[in-house]
Amino acid sequence: MAVTPIVISGLVFRRGGRAVLDGLTASIAATGITAIVGPNGAGKSVTLRILDGLLQPDAGEVRFGRGAGADVRRALVFQRPALIRASVEANVALGLAAAGSGLGRAARRERIAAALHRVGLGDRARDPARKLSGGEQQRLALARALVGGPDLLLLDEPTANLDPGATEAIEELVRGEAAAGTKVILVSHNLGQVARLADDLLVLDRGRAVEHGPAQAVLQAPRTAEARAYLKGELPWTAFAAA
Ligand SMILES: Nc1ncnc2c1ncn2[C@@H]1O[C@H](COP(=O)(O)OP(=O)(O)O)[C@@H](O)[C@H]1O
Ligand SMILES: [Mg+2]
């Protein structure tokens, strides 16, 4: 697809008598890494699922440039990698099922090998996925997301369960993917990670966008009370005191 801005207009998503998304509006640049932060229950995961096409909003819309996004290849990575009880390469093959249906057997194998190599699991293809460490499993989930060549990579707290070393490996991969032209939208509570990776930062609160701007500016000088309250709760005290 041609890289186009993502325009989110007035999204409403109701469940159990309440509005999980309550008129969410935001314009997201076509390139780079956009981070989304906000308190638990703010609607971050629902927003990613709507962007992925897994959920339909009750009102509002998402537009990709002038289109509805049918031609936008998307991939979503969750906090806990949902792996099948099979080999590492079989898990990556799942990511090709939709995207790579026109490929021959040899081309598919090549793509799978390239994706595994990319995430540093080139020599683990035949291992059972469950034998991998937590960090390796998340890199496998990333390989499965990348193997189809997504235009839009959606990451929902992808390092929430990982140690600093494994987190750094994921961050490096995400940075490289964005540099190669994939649009990345990252939900994270790790504000250090947001500062390291994000170009822009969108703060959600109770199903609405309360602040959106260059990541460093929002982190250092949030303009709204809601953003300040969230950031203050997440930042180490000293970092906030210095800001
Ligand atoms: N499919 C669904 N059905 C019912 N409730 C949902 C559904 N998806 C999300 N919710 C509820 O919506 C709220 C916000 O969800 P979520 O997007 O997961 O928040 P966040 O990711 O910001 O923590 C939560 O209280 C959750 O229980
Ligand atoms: Mg969530």
- Chain segment 26-36, per-residue pLDDT in tens: 999 999 999 99
Residue 123 neighbours by CB distance under 10 Å: 10
Q: What confidence score (pLDDT) does residue 237 get?
A: 53
Task: Quote the mean pLDDT of the chain.
Answer: 93
Q: How far is CA 183 from the centre of its chain?
A: 9
Q: Separation of 44 CA from ligand 2 center, angstroms?
A: 5
Q: What confidence score (pLDDT) does residue 64 get?
A: 92
Nearest ligand, measured from the Cα of 36: 1
- Least confident range from 17-21, 67-71, 105-109, 233-237: namely 233-237
Q: Which atom of ligand 1 is nearest to the CA of 39?
A: 22
Mean pLDDT of 108-113: 95
Q: Separation of 115 CA from ligand 1 center, angstroms?
A: 31
Q: Classify residue 35 as left (phi > 0), alpha (psi -120 to 50) or beta.
A: beta
The answer on pLDDT for 203 being more than 70 is yes
Give 82's DSSP letter: -
The share of the chain scoring above pLDDT 70, in percent, equals: 93
The answer on pLDDT for 243 being more than 60 is no
Q: Which atom of ligand 1 is nearest to the CA of 49?
A: 17
Class of domain 1-70+188-243 (CATH, top level): alpha beta
The answer on pLDDT for 163 being more than 80 is yes
